[in-house]
Amino acid sequence: MERDVVPFIVNGQPVRTGRSFPVINPATEERIAEVANADRASVEAALAAARDAFPGWAATPIAERRAIMDRCCAVLEREKERLVDLLVAETGKPYDTAAYGLSCLVGSLRFFSEEAQRVSQEVIPDPTGRFLHYVLRQPLGVVVGLLAWNYPLLNLGYKLGPVLASGCTAVIKPSRHTPLATLAAVELLAEAGVPAGVVNVITCDDHRVSNALLESRIPSLITMIGSTEAGVEVMATAATSIKRFSLELGGNAPAIVYPDADLTDAAIRIVNLKFSNAGQVCVAPNRCFVHAKVYEEFLSLAAERAGAITLGSGKGPMPMMGPLMTAEARDAALELVRESLDAGAKLVCGGRKPEQPARGYFMEPTILRDVRPEMRVARQEIFGPILAVIPFDDEQDLLAMANDTEHGLAAFVFTSDLSTALRAAEGLQAGSVCINEPHFGIHLPHAGQKQSGVGMDRSCHSLEEYLTVKRVSIRK
Q: Considering the domain boundaries, does residue 78 fall inside one? A: yes
Coil, strand or helix at 285:
strand
Q: How many domains is the chain partitioned into structurally?
A: 2
Nearest to 182 by CA among 108, 86, 314, 98: 86
pTM: predicted TM-score of the whole model, two decimal places: 0.96
Do 194 and 284 lie in a common domain?
Answer: no
- Backbone dihedral region of 154: left (phi > 0), alpha (psi from -120 to 50 degrees) or beta? alpha
**What are the DSSP E strand ranges found in 26-130?**
30-36, 123-124
Using only the alpha carbons of the chain, give its radius of gyration. Answer: 23
Q: Considering the domain boundaries, does residue 312 fall inside one? A: yes
Do 28 and 101 lie in a common domain?
Answer: yes
Q: Which helix (H) or strand (E) segment is 341 a member of?
A: helix 327-342
Catalytically annotated residues:
248, 282
pLDDT of residue 112: 98
For 29, residues 6+ apart whose C-beta sits below 8 A from its C-beta are 327, 359, 360, 361
Do 229 and 261 lie in a common domain?
Answer: no
Do 206 and 284 lie in a common domain?
Answer: no
- Backbone dihedral region of 129: left (phi > 0), alpha (psi from -120 to 50 degrees) or beta? left
Q: Residue 26 class from Cβ within 10 Å (0-12 exposed, 13-18 middle, 19+ buried)?
A: buried
Do 220 and 306 lie in a common domain?
Answer: no
Q: Considering the domain boundaries, does residue 447 fall inside one? A: no
Summarize pLDDT for 339-355 with one digit per residue, the tens: 999 999 999 999 999 99
Boundaries of domain holding 157: 2-249+452-475
DSSP 7: P
CA distance 36 to 17: 6
- Report how far Cα 126 is from the mean position of its chain's Cα atoms: 43
**What are the DSSP E strand ranges found in 113-205?**
123-124, 131-139, 142-146, 169-173, 199-201
CATH code of 409's domain: 3.40.309.10
CATH code of 200's domain: 3.40.605.10
Do 272 and 355 lie in a common domain?
Answer: yes
Q: Considering the domain boundaries, does residue 273 fall inside one? A: yes
CA distance 231 to 248: 8
Q: Considering the domain boundaries, does residue 109 fall inside one? A: yes
Contact 44, 17 (CB under 8 A): no
Do 434 and 460 lie in a common domain?
Answer: no
Do 183 and 41 lie in a common domain?
Answer: yes
Q: Considering the domain boundaries, does residue 446 fall inside one? A: no
What does the chain come to in residues? 476
Do 300 and 244 lie in a common domain?
Answer: no
Do 435 and 386 lie in a common domain?
Answer: yes
- Report how far Cα 37 is from the mean position of its chain's Cα atoms: 24
Do 275 and 164 lie in a common domain?
Answer: no
pLDDT of residue 2: 61
- Backbone dihedral region of 351: left (phi > 0), alpha (psi from -120 to 50 degrees) or beta? left
Do 334 and 465 lie in a common domain?
Answer: no
Nearest to 381 by CA among 272, 253, 237, 232: 253
Neighbours of 358 (CB within 10 A): 8
CA distance 116 to 340: 49
| Mean pLDDT, the chain, integer | 97
Weakly modelled stretches of the chain, pLDDT under 70 = 1-3
Q: Considering the domain boundaries, does residue 269 fall inside one? A: yes
Neighbours of 419 (CB within 10 A): 8
Q: Considering the domain boundaries, does residue 419 fall inside one? A: yes
Contact 178, 130 (CB under 8 A): no
* Torsion, CA 408, CA 281, CA 34, CA 13, rounded to 10: -60
